[in-house]
Amino acid sequence: MDYLAHLRDDSARFRAVLATAAAGSRVPSCPDWDADDLLWHLGEVQWFWGTIVAQRLDDPDKAEAQKPQRPGDRTGLLSFFDSASALLQRSLAETDPSVEVWMWDADRTVGYIRRRQAHEALIHRLDAELTVGVPTPLDPELASDGVDEAIQKMFGSPPDWATSTTGHHTVSLHTTDTGLTLPLRVDRWSGTSPNTGRTYDDETYLAVEQQDGFHPDVTVHAPAADLDAWLWGRAEDYVLTVQGDAEAFTALKNVVTTGIE
């Protein structure tokens, strides 16, 4: 997977779409944002990770301390996005994928940051297109990889300090165009965050099922682009073909509806 090429192309498409968006245009997939908020968001994300990689930082606060102020108009936002996106693409291209820097995931390699930022650009490119009402197809192979990443990284494990329990709802996700199949179980976790003191009780997450002879309660089929968009809250249930137990699908949907932080 050429993540750098996808990052470049989707970032360029994102920028081109928002450059012509009307002032105050709302982002339907992120209703608290308008077009300028979306432009600033991806710009600051790309600036942050470009800074982390370029400076080989091991602490996110070291990047945050350097964060520039948000520009006050569209022209300034576009200029900031251009420089931030160039920084990210250059730093990723010039750094060996095996190099480790700060990352919230256990995989701290620049290779994973390449993957993560390609998907960040893909989903926000879709947000930009939805804002102006001109969505275009998502690359099926990248979207299929996005489904895998969303499950394995975003929905796939509780915090280290949590206690987890095995659930009884099982699900199989299947992409109809790329052949990806993910056997899942809806598990639960509880605990108190040592960082914030907040207590969580009976939260749900998706665990990849490792047992042989897996027989899911419900099977969910969709093209990779539709399934990826659905997992990220950018598509409605009608893009899916659901076969099996309605309660198990509801359990899956409850996890997805909670959203990805």
pTM of the prediction? 0.94
Domain boundary among 109, 136, 163: 136
Question: Do 121 and 162 have their domain in common?
Answer: no
Asked whether residue 223 falls in the same domain as residue 253, the answer is yes
Whether residues 70 and 162 fall in one domain = no
Q: Is residue 221 part of a domain?
A: yes
Tally of domains in the chain: 2
pLDDT tens digits for 147-194?
Answer: 999 999 999 888 889 999 998 899 999 999 999 999 999 999 999 999
**128 and 172: one domain?**
no
**Are 19 and 106 found together in one domain?**
yes
Question: Is pLDDT at 209 greater than 80 in this prediction?
Answer: yes
Task: Examine the domain organization and report whether 190 and 111 are in the same domain.
Answer: no
| pLDDT over 70 (residue 261) | no
Do residue 118 and residue 173 come from a single domain? no
259 pLDDT higher than 90: no
One domain for residues 31 and 94: yes
Look at residue 234 in the predicted model and tell me its pLDDT: 96
From 106, 136, 166, the end of a domain falls on: 136
Model confidence over 12-47: pLDDT tens digits? 999 999 999 998 999 999 999 999 999 999 999 999
For residue 2, the model assigns a pLDDT of 97
**Cα gap 235→212, rounded to integer Å:** 32
Judge if 55 and 172 occupy the same domain: no
- Domain hosting residue 110, numbered range: 3-136
pLDDT digits (tens, 9 = 90+) for 115-157: 999 999 999 999 999 999 999 999 999 999 999 999 999 998 8
Does a structural domain hold residue 88? Answer: yes
Task: Specify the CATH number for the domain of residue 40.
Answer: 1.20.120.450
- What confidence category does residue 260 fall into, taking pLDDT thresholds of 50, 70 and 90? confident
Phi, psi of 68 (to 5 degrees): -75, 165
SS3 for 221-238 is EECHHHHHHHHCCCCCHH
Confidence of residue 50 (pLDDT cuts 50, 70, 90): very high
pLDDT digits (tens, 9 = 90+) for 80-110: 999 999 999 999 999 999 999 999 999 999 9
